[in-house]
Structure formats: structure tokens, C-alpha cells
Amino acid sequence: MFGLTKRQFLKKSKIALQQTGVQLLSLRGLMNQKSKGEISLREAQRNLDTLRKHVENTFSIYEKLNPPSKCLPLQQKIFNALIIFHSSLVSYSESLNAAERGLPDEADLKLKSAKELNKYQELTLSLSREIDSYLKK
């Protein structure tokens, strides 16, 4: 099977980052609704599971790409970003489970999730700029 051209790979990478960007906004909205008490714990968990499945789907599609060898470092950076985002989703899910059980580490898990989200956001911003600069060439 033939690999992708550099331009094709960059476009697919951009799409993957855009998809997770939408999911990031959905997660932030979910976190905001939950903190304001606008949705139940069960509904938040259900929405979070849906987001997690979307991220896993994006990861599996992106993983199947066959980029040119000079794009492998970029692919690894995007994999890293997707893993950080997934980890944030898992941390937030664990905080919801801790809240449901009344465990004291709920706040620590929420903080961990928020830190990972910020790290993901910074990383994807720089990756998007890098991809845009390559696409302009």
C-alpha cells in the first residue's frame, strides 16, 4: 500500500486536530454545565463516554495513516497530544466517579484533568501553527 504525500498527511493531521478541537469545546461545556449543576452526574458521565469514544475513533483513524518518513516526528507529536487529551477525559471521568461515591480525591482529579486540558490546548495550538506553516509552503 502506498503512503500519503506530505500535503495529504498534513491535511489529514489538520482534520484530526480540528475534530479534537470540537471535542475539547464540548468537554469544556460539559465541565461548565456540571459545575453549575445544570446536568446530572449520570448525564455528564454519558456525555463524557461519548466524547471519549470520539477521541478514540479519531486516534484509531489517525493511527492508520501512512505518512512520509519526514513527517514521522509530527505524527508522534499529534499522537502525544491525542493521548494527553484522552488522559484528561479519563481523569475527569474518574473525578465524576469519585463524586458519585463521595470520595475525597474528586478535586485532585478535576485539577489533574484541567491541567492536562491546558497542556493539550497549548500543544495543539503550536501543532496547528506548524501544520499551517507547512501547508503554506
pLDDT in tens, 76-120: 999 999 999 999 999 999 998 888 888 887 788 888 889 999 999
Cell match 500519503: residue?
4
d(CA 39, CA 33) in angstroms, rounded, equals: 6
User: Chain-centre distance of CA 22, in angstroms?
Assistant: 9
For 28-87, write each residue's pLDDT tens digit.
Answer: 999 999 889 999 989 999 999 999 999 999 999 999 999 999 999 999 999 999 999 999
Query: In this model, does residue 1 exceed pLDDT 60?
Result: no
Domains of the chain, by residue range, sit at 6-136
In degrees, rounded to 5, the angle at the alpha carbon of residue 46 between the alpha carbons of residues 36 and 89 is 75
Alpha helices of the chain — where are they, by DSSP H?
A: 6-36, 41-63, 72-101, 106-136
- Backbone dihedral region of 129: left (phi > 0), alpha (psi from -120 to 50 degrees) or beta? alpha
- The architecture of the domain spanning 6-136 is Up-down Bundle (1.20)
d(CA 113, CA 82) in angstroms, rounded, equals: 14
